[in-house]
Homo-oligomer: A and B are copies of this chain.
Amino acid sequence: MRVIVPFAPDAPKTRLAGTLSVDERSAFARAMLDDVIGALDEMGLDPEVLSTGPVDVGFPVVRDDRALTPAVNAVLRETEGTTAVVMADLPLVTTGVLRRLFEAAGDVVLAPGRAGGTNALVVRHPAFQVNFHGTSFLDHLAVARDIGANTSVIDSHRLATDIDEADDFVEVLLHGDGNAREWLEENGFRIVVRDNHVTLTRDQE
């Protein structure tokens, strides 16, 4: 099985711009990438980073300047056999949930992200192509149906939790145990409970 982790070192996490500086966003994105690659490595897999720019991770890097969708589709077309795609902004992944993903039956296995995205997938059908725009989870179900591919869906909070906004940091602080959580803690982020509601705060340096 070929395992691809898409990564965009030059455009990290713009929706965090109100919370983190550009340099912080880069560092945090890298911490999340390391968590994802680390879990895959721990499983004995050989992840490849599909990157829009140079990145030094100690694993093979496939460079492709294009947007996510055509870059992933190029990999799917050129690969015989099973291809897995795991997004780089999933710092809650564990070897346990990745095993559930990789061992699920189906020509196409999808792990939905919150709000309709697709955060990880396994493709065992030669005609399947991705489309990461909009409600990609529904699109991917429809594509699979159209080509006669049977589909499994992985029900996982860890795989559903891609980190796009500061609110998502709460999940990392609650459930993470890797580089991303450490980065947030070292940079002053903490959970506070106010009026029975969990929010995020950042300590002044």
Contacts and interface: CB of A to CB of B under 8 A. Distances in A.
Contact of A155 (B133, B134, B157): B157
A135 B200 CA distance: 12
Given A112-B174, A115-B197, A116-B174, 11 more contacts: A96-B155, A97-B155, A114-B157, A115-B167, A115-B174, A135-B191, A135-B198, A137-B174, A156-B156, A157-B160, A160-B160
A135 B193 contact: yes
Contacts of A193: 116, 133-135
A140 interface: no
Interface string A163-191: 00001001100110000000000000001
A66 to B, nearest CB: 16
A204 interface: no
Nearest to A191: B135
Interface string A133-144: 111011000000
- Which 7 interchain pairs have the tightest Cβ spacing? A134-B193, A157-B160, A116-B198, A115-B198, A155-B156, A157-B157, A155-B158
Residue among A156, A160, A191 with the highest chain B CB neighbour number at 10 A: A160
A197 B114 CA distance: 11
A133 B197 CA distance: 8
A96 to B, nearest CB: 8
Interface in A29-74: none
B174 A135 contact: yes
Interface in A112-135: 112, 114-116, 133-135
